[in-house]
Amino acid sequence: MMSPKKKNICGTRISTTSYSEVVDLCSQWIHDKIARNSSVPSRYICVTSVHGIVTARQDAELRRILNRADVATPDGMPVVWALRSFGETKQQRVYGPTLMLRLCERAAAEGHRIFLYGSTEDTLEALREKLYALYPRINIAGSFAPPFRALTSDEELDVRQRIISADTDLLFVGISTPKQEKWMAKQKDALPGLVMVGVGAAFNFHAGQVKQAPSWMQNHGLEWLFRLWAEPGRLWKRYVLLTPRFLPYWALQWVGLYKFQTDTEFGSDL
């Protein structure tokens, strides 16, 4: 299977894809890895929201990572609406927490081995319990809660060894944007054959430690308001200072007044 095509949204190439396509792709990549004894490149998937797109305008490294991702799903409704405005009229949201559950369901059915990287030990314990309750046949081969700081070289080596020793097929990374995208890109060459998926706050949601916005708010692009209300101290800068920039960026691109470059050689524009 070929990776889905991408569309330039404010300088970030977003995949025009669906839950079923991403799940099928991951399954195929894992089967290729098993058949060829890990002699295939690793893959990484970014679930890309307005926060990621806007951050990438000022962070050339993140922009490069997002644009080189095997898949960059439209994680928020404003990103979906932008894709529709540029001709992808049937595009639907591919939301990180939902995608994680769909992938877990397929992994449980096919016997693929899962590793969880991110959050805290308490959250991981609650998450494992939830996943085992939903999918009794799921194989969670390992997990690791990293410290809230940069890992040392020895710690990085230890984590990689844990992931490899667990014979991991599917690695979920839940340490928020842009840290999770940069971590996956850094591990790409060191973890051949793995499929890595950055799922953001999905660990906390599924562990029951943070509430998700009601469906009607998600469907109307108001999830940011719910999350700001739920976690104002942590998220106010993201939703008050950063993400509102997306609307003028999108408008400039839509009316043709500005052509956003996706190549990192152009650095930070706007």
Q: How does strand 139-144 pair with strand 113-118?
A: parallel
Question: What is the share, in percent, of the chain residues with pLDDT greater than 70?
Answer: 96
Average pLDDT over residues 149-156: 88
Query: Does the pLDDT value for residue 17 go beyond 70?
Result: yes
Q: What is the pLDDT of residues 18-46, one digit of tens each?
A: 999 999 999 999 999 888 776 788 999 99
**Cα gap 101→159, rounded to integer Å:** 24
- Indicate the Cα dihedral angle 212, 184, 197, 38, nearest 10°: -160
45-92 pLDDT, tens digit each: 999 999 999 999 999 999 999 999 999 999 999 999 999 999 999 999
User: CA triplet 254, 68, 218: central angle to 5 degrees?
Assistant: 55
Cβ count within 10 A of residue 258: 16
CA distance 214 to 223: 8
Nearest to 57 by CA among 255, 235, 252: 252
pTM of the complete model beyond 0.85? yes
* Res. 268: pLDDT tops 60: no
Q: Please determine, for residue 1, whether its predicted confidence score (pLDDT) is greater than 70.
A: no
